[in-house]
Amino acid sequence: MPEQRFDAVVIGAGPGGYPAAIRLGQLKVKTAIIEREYVGGVCLNVGCIPSKAVIHAAKMYEKMGHADDLGIVLAQKPSLDMKRLQTWKGGVVNKLTGGVRTLLKGNGVEVIDGSAKLEKSGPDGHRITVTGKNGTQTIIAKNIVLATGSRPLEIPGFKVDQNRIIDSTGALALDHVPGRMIVIGGGYIGLELGMVYAKFGTKVTVVEALPRVLASMDKDCVAVVERKLKKMGVEVMANTKAKSWEDKGDRAVLTVELADGKTAQIDADKILLSIGRKPNSENLGLEAAGVAVGKGGFVTVDDKLRTNVPGIYAIGDLVGGMMLAHKATKEGEVVAEVIAGHKAAFDVRTIPAVVFTDPEIASTGLTEDEAKAKGHTSLKVGKFPFAALGRALSVNDTDGFVKVVADGKTGELLGLHIVGNGAGDLISEGALAIEMGAVVDDLRLTIHPHPTLSESIMEAAAASLGEAVHIMNR
């Protein structure tokens, strides 16, 4: 195949890569994007979107089982058809991935299907070899954006076969409800999917090596989720390490090491491995191109997403930090503007994070412990429970609270942490406030519509100042 030349080539069409390519197209940069598997990446196809679809179905299924609390009497108990659920989930994914292809084409971006590998750069530019269904071709680019994402980590001896040992992709593709599931890893993916199957009727056990699940999130928020896990019958084994497993034919048997050094065995039909992710930096030709790779396989970049090689950039999970789709998207937009010659850099004060457990946890900025560690010796902390909020009561979903963390001397908002219904949709107000350098009075004095969940943010801000109206002030 003849050589093709572009001003910019993006390798990887996930939530970082495809926005970079679209923005490059908008900026009139001749661009191609190379994808080896599926446009939209892990997030749209087997991650963020399908998992949220299944999480929604599980929550709806659980609520239907308690519809009589609201005076809605069903003729019979709701039943679950996993094959139809999978079909619906697939439809959601197809609509979004099809939309991405349309946007790429509409912005003049050429989509090339195949696996890309960097070669040694020549005098005419950076060289890429693409291997696809129609053979091999060479592409020459002035600029390259590496956006190859990440994949689940594995434990030695726990090879994912999507039969006994499954990862998140396998968990989202099950066409039946397993009787027993062990989730190795109490992070956000493990707990999200573990709670889904617990609602569907699976006996779920979570094995976590650290002292508590969701170790990076606000501990008060996590405590609410831990209570819900217990209520659902999910067993959480903290300070516990998975050591080995054996296939007994009719079941898998996991051996774990407990906090006291003793071992125990747990039976399961499925073992879900969810212990984190690693960057897809191998087999990319980084060494041949001279691109520096740091600890853990992450590519080193500066605030303009430039690697050590002029004209080669990297974004998303490949560069580490918070491995979140929205962070990758922002980096993709920034790198496009950098390549187009605009004055741009990845310069953010906060990146919000959401855990789609039930209830949800959303967080932006510093937790109390982090604020103290950073030298904020005086803090103003305000909490407002959803149980005291009219909107939460009226939708019969009152678990959780909003928590405001502010500097005690200046009043500057340092962090906002929410656990409860709609937390993920509420958190952006806090992110905007932190980016703007707002003080808690800004949140307190802003009129929030009634009756809404967002009032809880205003009330928590007021509580941090001892001025809450709808709860007693401490």
Domains and CATH numbers, the chain: 4-151+278-339 (3.50.50.60), 165-275 (3.50.50.60), 353-464 (3.30.390.30)
Report how far apart the first and last C-alpha atoms of the chain are (Å, whole number): 73
Q: pLDDT value at position 292?
A: 97
Q: Distance between CA atoms of 101 and 98, rounded to whole angstroms?
A: 5
Query: CB of 398 within 8 A of CB of 428?
Result: no
Q: Is the pLDDT of residue 2 over 80?
A: no
- Whose tokens are 């405001």? That residue is 404
Residue 303 neighbours by CB under 8 Å, 6+ apart: 345, 346, 347
Q: pLDDT value at position 260?
A: 96
Tell me the backbone φ, ψ of residue 243, rounded to 5 degrees: -105, -45
The one-letter amino acid at 117: K
pTM assigned to the model:
0.96
Q: pLDDT value at position 134?
A: 85
| Catalytic machinery residues | 450
Burial of 329-363, coded b for 16+ CB within 10 Å and e otherwise, reads bbbbbbbbbbbbeeebebeeebebbbbbbbbbbbb
E strand or H helix at 206: strand 203-207
- Digit-coded pLDDT (tens) for 192-250: 999 999 999 999 999 999 999 999 999 999 999 999 999 999 999 999 999 999 999 99
Q: Are strands 413-420 and 400-407 parallel, antiparallel or unpaired?
A: antiparallel
Q: Distance between CA atoms of 423 and 418, rounded to whole angstroms?
A: 6
Smallest CA-to-CA distance from 250 within 200, 180, 198, 182 is with 180
Mean pLDDT, residues 43-53 taken together: 96
Q: pLDDT value at position 474?
A: 83
Smallest CA-to-CA distance from 228 within 193, 202, 195, 196 is with 195
Report the mean per-residue pLDDT for the chain: 97
Smallest CA-to-CA distance from 417 within 450, 469, 456 is with 456
Q: Are strands 270-273 and 165-166 parallel, antiparallel or unpaired?
A: parallel
Q: pLDDT value at position 30?
A: 98
Region label for 285, one of left (φ > 0), alpha (ψ between -120 and 50) or beta (otherwise): left
- Digit-coded pLDDT (tens) for 423-446: 999 999 999 999 999 999 999 999
Smallest CA-to-CA distance from 297 within 149, 120, 119 is with 149
Region label for 185, one of left (φ > 0), alpha (ψ between -120 and 50) or beta (otherwise): left
Q: Is the pLDDT of residue 396 over 80?
A: yes
Region label for 284, one of left (φ > 0), alpha (ψ between -120 and 50) or beta (otherwise): alpha
pLDDT band at 333 (very low <50, low <70, confident <90, very high): very high
Percent of the chain with pLDDT over 70: 100
- Whose tokens are 């079909």? That residue is 87
Q: Is the pLDDT of residue 44 over 90?
A: yes
Query: CB of 379 within 8 A of CB of 366?
Result: no
Q: Distance between CA atoms of 210 and 184, rounded to whole angstroms?
A: 11
Q: Are strands 203-207 and 180-184 parallel, antiparallel or unpaired?
A: parallel
Q: pLDDT value at position 63?
A: 95
- Digit-coded pLDDT (tens) for 158-183: 999 999 999 999 999 999 999 999 99
Mean pLDDT, residues 417-425 taken together: 98
Q: pLDDT value at position 57?
A: 97
- Digit-coded pLDDT (tens) for 50-74: 999 999 999 999 999 999 999 999 9
Mean pLDDT, residues 108-135 taken together: 95
Q: Distance between CA atoms of 188 and 195, rounded to whole angstroms?
A: 11
Q: Distance between CA atoms of 148 and 316, rounded to whole angstroms?
A: 8
Mean pLDDT, residues 109-134 taken together: 95
Q: Is the pLDDT of residue 90 over 90?
A: yes
Q: Distance between CA atoms of 463 and 78, rounded to whole angstroms?
A: 41
Q: What are 207's strand-pairing partners?
A: 184, 237
